[in-house]
Amino acid sequence: MHPANNPTGNTENKKSIADLAKPRPIWYTALKKGTAMIDHDNLEEFRDPQTFDLQDEGYFDDYPLTEQWARALGGPLLDLACGTGRMALRVAELGYQVTGVDITPEMIARARQKAAQQAVSIEWVVADARTFHLQKQFSFIYMLENVFQFFLTRVDQEAMLARVQEHLLPQGCFLFETRNPSPRNLFELRRPEGEKFTTPDGGQLVITEQQHYDPMTQIQHYARHLTFLHPRGQQEEKTLHTALRYVFPQEMEALLFYNGFQIRSCYGNWQQGPLTASSPSMIYVCQRRA
C-alpha cells in the first residue's frame, strides 16, 4: 500500500487484492482457533522422514487386521497416505501388488529408498488424497495411523472419500482409522512424560507436547517440541504444529452413508474389540453402498 493511502504510515500486515487472490498452498486451511487462524504447514512433521521413521519404527499394531482384510479381498492394494512405506513394504513382501500414494515428496523419496534396499517392487505416487486419479481400481484401499484426522473440514473429507469411491472395485473395501473422541483423547496428554529416542548418530531425541481442543471446529491443536541432543554436546530444538480433526461415531456413520458407503465392520481397537465410549480408536471397513 502506498503511504499516501495509509494515514498511519504502517505497511505491516497489509495485503493487496492480488495477494489475497493467490491460491493458498495445499496445506493451508483457514479455521478459527479462538481468534487465531491456522496457517501453518500441517504436514511439517512429515518433511523430515528420517525423524518420522525414528518415532514410527517398530509400530505394527495395525498389521494383523490389515493383512487379514488384504488376504480376504486380494490385490491390487492401495496404501493411501503411505508415508515412508511402513505397511506397503510389508504387504508387498507377501506378494501383493501395491501402490503407495502420499502428498509429501520427502516421504515418497524415503519409501522408494527403502523399497530399493529391500528389493521390493511398489508403485509410488506423490499425490493429494483429495485429488488423485490413477486410472485404475483396487480390491483393498487402506489409510492408517489416523491420517483421516488430517482432513480438517467436511469438504476435505468428502473429496477424499470421492477419490476412494473412484478407485475402489465394486466388491472392494476401504479400511481406515481415526482416534475416538473420548474424554481421554480430547483432554489428556497422549504422553505426559514425553518421549525419548536414540538417533542414528548415538544422540538423543526428546519430544514433549502441548495440546488444545477447540470444540466448535472439533480440532485438536498440538505443539510438539523436539530437542536433539547430539553426541558432542550440540543441542538443536524445533517446534512442530499439527491440527487434527475429530469425528464422532454418529457423525462418521452419516458421513460415510451420504458419501455412498456402507459399513461392513467397525472396531474400537486393532484387536477387533467393539467400539465403545472409551475405545482408543474408531476403525472402519466399508464398501460402496448398493
> What are 87-93's contacts with CB under 8 Å, separation 24+?
87/62, 87/63, 87/142, 87/144, 88/122, 89/114, 89/115, 89/118, 89/120, 89/122, 90/60, 90/63, 91/66, 91/67, 92/120, 92/121, 92/122, 93/118, 93/120
Q: Band of the pLDDT at 10, cuts 50, 70, 90? A: very low
CA–CA distances in Å: residue 40 to residues 54, 127, 150, 213: 23, 20, 13, 17
pLDDT at residue 211 greater than cutoff 60: yes
What integer pLDDT is reported at residue 231 of this predicted model?
84
Q: Give pTM, 2 decimals.
A: 0.85
Chain segment 243-283, per-residue pLDDT in tens: 999 999 999 999 999 999 999 999 999 999 999 999 999 99
pLDDT at residue 152 greater than cutoff 90: yes
What integer pLDDT is reported at residue 156 of this predicted model?
96
